[in-house]
Amino acid sequence: MRIIVTGGAGFIGSHTAVELLDKGHEAIIIDNLSNSSEKAIDRIEKITGKKVRFYKEDLCNKDGLLSIFEREKADCVIHFAGLKAVGESVKLPYKYYYNNIVGTLNLIDVMNKCGVKNIIFSSSATVYGTPSVVPITEECPKGICTNPYGQTKSMIEQILTDVQKADRSFNVVLLRYFNPIGAHPSGLIGENPNGIPNNLMPFITQVAIGRLSELGVFGNDYDTPDGTGVRDYIHVMDLASAHVHALKKIADGSGISIYNLGTGKGYSVLEVIKSFEQATGIKIPYSFRPRREGDIATCYASAKKAKEELGWEAKYDIIDMCRDSWNFQRLNPNGYDD
């Protein structure tokens, strides 16, 4: 299939582009590089030995988007493009609503004009808010999102659901990611956060490389086995492969479907630190800090539906995830800026 990958220069998009090319699909990447580097495109080509067509374009520029769609005649869109920093979204809500919502509305309009009716969207476990039960199944009701970033994910899910309801020839897959970490085993592509990382794994790898001195563990008084927050970490290679499985579903005319993408296992912050030390032999100094505002105690997926309906399940374990995250950091101490 010919797939337009929005946000394909980013962390998850670049890994998915590799998986698409490896599985014989064509990948056409649109990215404005607001949170990524063109070097990721070169690296995708290096890993796969295949050419990628890349357009540096902003989804908020509808005319530019339309001319790409008219030229490329794609079968499907995988929509990763969006801003994703939770804390920044609280400070800059307009920027987040504009970029994520207007970008998606433009995309839907252009898809309609060009007869492209298949879309896979990067959603997030954040749409569940504070989960009432774990593991979280897709039947769990959506919750209250405490930040504009999460609101955009929830709103885009609703927009795509309504678009599909009004036009049954649309096929929509909403993929709710849990906590993506890891990197391609080659160490050529990986997560490349700007500034001081907000998320746990990039913070740990930057402590390991010596860019940061110590990890702050946010809260040790949660109602969890060791008092620290529990999450469902998933290897980005597994996430990438889930998208290719979702393509098969969409090609069969699936209507609307929703899947959690997680491993179904939860690890605490202290367990992640221990796993990282075991995988790499590097000690991570840490100290306990107050809870981070907006954090919940425990969040992990039921991964059953994706297994039953997509034939997909996660293969990589937490040690693989730590090893590959470190491998990318070790080989790219300053990310793509080297």
Count of residues interacting with ligand UFG (CB under 6 A): 21
Report the partner that residue 218 touches, choosing among ligand NAD, ligand UFG, none (CB closer than 5 to 8 A by kind): ligand UFG
Instruction: Give the one residue of 30, 40, 188, 217 binding ligand UFG; rule: CB under 6 A.
Output: 217
CB of 213 to ligand UFG, least distance (A): 13
> Interface with ligand UFG includes 234 (CB under 6 A)?
no
Q: Active site includes 149?
A: yes
CB of 121 to ligand UFG, least distance (A): 14
Report the partner that residue 200 touches, choosing among ligand UFG, ligand NAD, none (CB closer than 5 to 8 A by kind): ligand UFG
Report the partner that residue 37 touches, choosing among ligand UFG, ligand NAD, none (CB closer than 5 to 8 A by kind): none
Report the partner that residue 198 touches, choosing among ligand UFG, ligand NAD, none (CB closer than 5 to 8 A by kind): ligand UFG
**Three-state SS string across the chain, please?**
CEEEEECCCCHHHHHHHHHHHHCCCEEEEEECCCCCCCHHHHHHHHHHCCCCEEEECCCCCHHHHHHHHHHHCCCEEEECCCCCCHHHHHHCHHHHHHHHHHHHHHHHHHHHHHCCCEEEEEEEHHHHCCCCCCCECCCCCCCCCCCHHHHHHHHHHHHHHHHHHHCCCCEEEEEEECEEECCCCCCCCCCCCCCCCCCHHHHHHHHHHCCCCCEEEECCCCCCCCCCCEECEEEHHHHHHHHHHHHHHHHCCCCEEEEEECCCCCEEHHHHHHHHHHHHCCCCCEEEECCCCCCCCEECECCHHHHHHHCCCCCCCHHHHHHHHHHHHHHCCCHHHC
Site for ligand UFG in 69-98 (CB under 6 A): 84, 86
> Interface with ligand UFG includes 249 (CB under 6 A)?
no
Report the partner that residue 31 touches, choosing among ligand NAD, ligand UFG, none (CB closer than 5 to 8 A by kind): ligand NAD
List contacts with ligand NAD (CB under 6 A). 7, 9-13, 31-36, 58-60, 80-84, 99, 103, 122, 124, 177, 180
- Of the candidates 96, 149, 233, 300, the residue annotated as catalytic is 149
Stretch touching ligand UFG by CB under 6 A, among 131-139, 195-203, 308-316, 330-338: 195-203
- Catalytic residue set: 149
